[in-house]
Structure 1
Amino acid sequence: MSRTSREPLQPLSPEEELLVRSLGRVMYVLPRTIDADMVGDGQLPLTEYTALMHLSEAPGQHLRMSELAGACQLSLSGMTRTIVRLETAGLVERVKCEEDARGWNAVLTDAGFARLEESWPSHLASVRRRFLDHFEGFDLLELARAFQRIGTAD
């Protein structure tokens, strides 16, 4: 039995309703506006930037495709399409997993790291303008912890 079915339901207050609907809008709009800003600046699209970012932070600068897909919040097929584009541009390589011959790793190339560094200022400026600048005066650590609790809830 789910937890909500045992407790009496409480309608959302106007403030709660506004928060929930606003969050849904942010989840839809924010990635698209950051992507548009980056592409407009002649930089990597956000999906490709995010993949390279996760690879740059991984030990040995490589991840299994399934792990990278999870980190980027993409389906495996969506991640494969992204990696194919990056591989075609020489920014990543795909190599067989040493531990498991069935799996593939995405490996960041030197050119990929350089392209990530080139795109970073555009990403940073957009994230600040589109997101962080709206939280002046907020306790960002507490807000981040609340988001982490939501993101790890089961």
Structure 2
Amino acid sequence: STGADVLQAVKDAIDAGYRHIDTAWIYQNEKEVGEAIKAKIDEGVVKREDLFIVSKLWNTFHKPEDVEPAINQSLSALGLNYLDMYLMHSPVDFKQVGDSLFPTDKDGHVIPAGIDFVDTWKAMEDVYRKGLTKSIGVANFNKRQIERILEKGSVVPVTNQVSYTINS
């Protein structure tokens, strides 16, 4: 879909009563989502505090020093001062290779960066403590991975968002 389609879809969703908007850096639509939110706030349809906005840290930004710049990039694109929830999109990290979203080797396998997701989680805790997001969580984690975060982290993830598709 085009940016204009996303912009209109989010405006229509807010007009229809939706208040939870879930996006992610990797979706490459945060600018349009933010424009739609701003338009509806400017029209007086909603106030910022009426909305629950979620975004996600992409896998190429797992280095602890990349987490805060990543959330700031999302906040800037969305035109917001804070997120309601910020999720680590995956426990799997990708090596930064140029502008590649899914950096792969010559055999087509994704190249890991070798970052422990617990270290990434601790950086997520830092952006939470700084008020850049009101809550933090994970996505696509398994039981063992969540147990490691609970054992080594200091903030309990508020959610583990998983995608589930039913084939009919």
Q: TM-score, normalised by structure 2?
A: 0.27
Give the structure with higher Rg (CA): 1
Higher relative contact order (CA 8 A, sep 6+): 1
Give the structure with the larger helix fraction: 1
